[in-house]
Amino acid sequence: MALGHAFRIGFGTALFAVLVASAHGHAQTSAVNKAGWVDKFRQLDETWPTANTYRTASGAPGKDYWQQKVDYDIKVALNDDKQSIAGSETITYKNNSPD
């Protein structure tokens, strides 16, 4: 059970890091002008997408925002004497999409 929990935290952290790195790289390239300096007072619409019903302008969830739900039940047994590992996993997926 702990392994499944660690996976979910790890995946969320990795996804967040990729999104931040992507946005950061885009912000740097669009903010540098011909003279080479970064405009700290530029408009955010150059970097951030337009708000819609799924996301607000700040990036917070909007009224139509939804997420998928996945639960992992992982059972693992380690046998030191036989130098073996055995396990099973049950994945429960809930599609929360309105479609």
pLDDT of 90 reads 97
Residue spans of the chain under pLDDT 50 = 1-9, 25-29
Residues 8 and 13: their CA atoms lie apart, in Å, by: 9
Q: What is d(CA 24, CA 46) in angstroms, rounded to the nearest whole number?
A: 12
Contact predicate 89/73, CB 8 Å? yes
Residue 51: its pLDDT value, please? 85
**Cβ atoms of residues 41 and 56 within 8 Å:** no
The C-alpha torsion from 89 through 8 and 54 to 23, rounded to 10°, is -140
What pLDDT is attached to residue 56?
Answer: 85
Alpha-helical segments (H) within the chain: 2-31
